Structures are given as C-alpha cells and as structure tokens.
Amino acid sequence: MSDGNNKYEKVVKIIRESLPAFPHPELIEDAVIEKIRTKDQFSAGINGLIDTAFGWIYSGWVRRSFIGAALILFAVFVYQQADLLRSVRSLEREVVTITHEQPLLNVRDLERRLTIFKISSKIGPERKIEINESQLKEFMDSYKNLELKYENLNRMIQEDTLLKKYFEKKFEEIEKNKSKI
Amino acid sequence: MIEKELIDECRNGNLQNFRKIFERTSPMIFSVAFRMLSNEEIARDIVQETMITVWQKINRIKTPESFKIWIYRIAVNKCYDYLRKRKHDSEVRMNEDGWIFLSNHIKDEVTSDLDNQEIGLIINSLTDKLSIKQKTVFVLSELEEMTNEEIQNVTGMSPTTIKANLYHARRKMEGLLEKYMKDE
C-alpha cells in the first residue's frame, strides 16, 4: 500500500466516522410543515375558486344541454360540408378548360379569350368544351374574315340602288313566309 | 425503513405522520447534503426543500422499500443543482487551513470529536478538485457507505461510470494527500 493510499484510507475513515451533527431539526420541521400548510391552503383556495367559477358544469341538465348543442353543431358542420361538396361537383361540370400552347400576352389575345368566354356562357351547364390555342386562332380568323365579307357586301348593296331594292324585296318576302309558317 | 401505513397516511394528507417521516429521514438527508456541500446552512436548506418535495410527490412512491433510495435521489439532485450553480459562479477555492488541520488529525488519529466546521473543512479541502460526479460518487460510496447498486438507483449512473468516477476521485485525492501532507 502506497503512502498516498494509506493517508487516503485514514482520512476517509476520519470523515466517515465523524457524522455531521444536525442542529435544531425541529426548527426545520416546523418550517417545512408551515410551508406545506401554506401551499395546501393556497391550492385549496384555487380549487375553491375554480369550483365557484366552473362548478355549474357538473349539473346534469347543463351537461345534457352541452351534449345536445354539440350534436347540433356537428350536424350543421356535416350538412355544410356536404353542401360544399355538392357545389364543387356542380362547378366541375360547368368548367371550360382552355389548354395553352403559349401564354396570352397582348390585347388581341385577351379579346379572343373574352369571346370564347361569351360563347361558353351560352352553352348549358351540363356541357363541357375543350379548345386549344390554335383552334381559337382559327376560329377568330374565320370570324374576322366573315365580318369583312359582310361589310363589303353591305357596302355594295348600299352603293347600288337596284341591288338594295332587290334585297329589301327579298327580305320582305322572307318575313312574309315566316309569318305564314 | 418507513412503513407503508405511514406513507399511505401522508398520501391522505396526514401531517402528523409526515412529522414522523421527517424525524426518521432528515438526519440522513442532512448528512449527505452536508458532506456534499460542506456548508451547514445550505445543507439545512436542502433538507427543507427535500422534505417539501417528498410531501408533494409522495404519491409516486410505489413500495416502502424504495423510499430511502427515492428520498436520497431527491436530496442528491438538489445538491447536484446547487453544486452546478456554485461551480458556475467559481466560488469554490482550495483551503490551506484544511490541509494543516487534516495533517494534525491524521498524526493524532483523532476521529470522534470533530465538529461540523472541521468536517466541512476537511471534505472541502479533499474534494475541491473533484468533478461534481466524482464528488457525488465519493460521498455516497465512501462516506455514506452505499453499494454500487444503490448509487446507481440514486444517481442514475451506470455501474461502469460509478467505478470510473470513484477510481478517478480516489486518484486525485491520493495525489492531493501526497502533495500537501508529505511530512506526515
């Protein structure tokens, strides 16, 4: 056994055998009991306050009313969800899908989109149209061409008196035929 | 050993029975707290805080057999917290008077007439350089004479950690004794 080891054993023996004296434990005991009582009183006060404020929830009729209200609220929620789902499905049927080949950027494109929107609004809610950008362009060109031809024809009729009279006569005949039908 | 009936009565809010628990357990709490902190006043505070915690959490006790270990665990944890704070504040300093006093005692082999101040001085001088873990294991193992299993239950350290900490604590203290008490 080394010298340090020997000294260590001696020192540990001295400390181990010298039990520290606990002076006046009764003072601490009283302090502990006092603190416990104060804390218990405080928590009892809090519990009393909670009972006064929320004690009514223990009444049977209040509980039953709450259950009823909760069930009603739940039913309303389910009904709203179902209604929402129905609306979404209805909207899906009315949708007009436009697939873009390239983004619409200028006024002319906007005009095209507006036209297609106007057309689509006249179609029943049960129908669905799918149209792409090139088809839309073709449709608009055709429409412009037709419009131009109509204007030229109209101008020609207005300039030529005989032709104008002829067309007026023809229109009258058509109207008459319509009335007969 | 604390009886099950006594614990049950305390669970029901019987403060008179809690006084009995206090009388039986407070000396051991004071002993471990004083040996860990080397300060009578703080050890008394630890006793007070521990007993209040015991009252508040007495419902957690499952068996009366585990009561002693449980109460030790609460006390040691409180000492541990205090030591951590004190270490952070760097208040602990080596005490030269302790070594002189200790040298005289070893020479005279006087063991029974030490007062708290003297015991505190010796422990403080001896364990000043130990880590908190090493100090805890040293106090519980060498001074409170607990088994490794009991220390494991109190501190939550593994048996290997306990042995390692005790070994290093002993090495450090032997080194100190060699250094400061060469003439003995």
Q: Note the pLDDT tens digit of each residue in A38-60.
A: 887 787 778 778 877 887 877 78
Q: B31 or A179, which is more confident?
A: B31
pLDDT value for A102: 54
Taking residue B122's Cβ as centre, other Cβ atoms within 10 Å add up to 21
Same domain, B131 and B159: yes
Instruction: Using DSSP, state whether A130 is helix, strand or coil.
Output: strand
Same domain, B139 and B109: yes
Domain harbouring B74, CATH code: 1.10.1740.10
Going by pLDDT thresholds of 50, 70 and 90, the confidence category of residue A171 is confident
Same domain, B58 and B126: no
Q: B128 or A92, which is more confident?
A: B128
Give A112-147 pLDDT, tens digit per residue: 767 766 666 655 555 566 677 788 888 889 889 999
Residue A51, φ and ψ in degrees, nearest 5: -65, -40
Which pairs from A115-121 meet CB under 8 Å and 24+ separation? Answer: A115/A140, A115/A143, A120/A96
Tell me whether residues B26 and A29 touch, CB distance under 8 A: yes
C-alpha separations of B72 from A48, B19, B68, B85, B148 in Å? 35, 18, 6, 20, 14
Asked which of B91, B119, B148 is the last residue of a domain, the reply is B91
Q: A93 or B69, which is more confident?
A: B69
Query: How near does any CA of chain B get to the CA of A61, in Å?
Result: 33
pLDDT value for B184: 46
Domain harbouring B184, CATH code: 1.10.10.10
- Pairwise CA distance, residues B52 & A32, whole Å: 6
DSSP string, A45-100: HHHHHHHHHHGGGGSHHHHHHHHHHHHHHHHHHHHHHHHHHHHHHHHHHH--EEE-
Asked which of B50, B67, B91 is the last residue of a domain, the reply is B91
pLDDT value for A138: 87
pLDDT value for A96: 58
- Pairwise CA distance, residues A150 & A168, whole Å: 16
Same domain, B6 and B85: yes
* Owning domain of residue B21: 1-91
- Chain B residues touching residue A31 (CB < 8 angstroms): 48
Same domain, B63 and B119: no
From first to last of its 184 residues, chain B has per-residue pLDDT tens of: 677 788 888 888 888 888 988 999 999 999 999 999 989 999 999 999 999 999 888 888 878 788 889 999 999 999 989 988 876 554 545 566 667 777 777 766 655 577 888 888 888 888 888 999 999 999 999 999 999 999 999 999 999 999 999 999 999 999 888 888 765 4
Spatial contact of B94 and B128, defined as CB atoms under 8 Å apart = yes
Same domain, B106 and B173: yes
What residue segments make up the domains of chain A, in order of their start?
Answer: 97-180
Q: A77 or A6, which is more confident?
A: A77
Whether pTM exceeds 0.80: no
Q: Number of structural domains, chain B?
A: 2
- Pairwise CA distance, residues A168 & A144, whole Å: 26
Asked which of B91, B116, B144 is the last residue of a domain, the reply is B91
In chain A, the residue whose alpha carbon lies closest to the alpha carbon of B44 is: A28
Of B161, B40, B135, B15, the C-alpha closest to A24 is B40
Tell me whether residues B111 and A18 touch, CB distance under 8 A: yes
pLDDT value for B61: 82
- Chain A residues touching residue B51 (CB < 8 angstroms): 28, 32
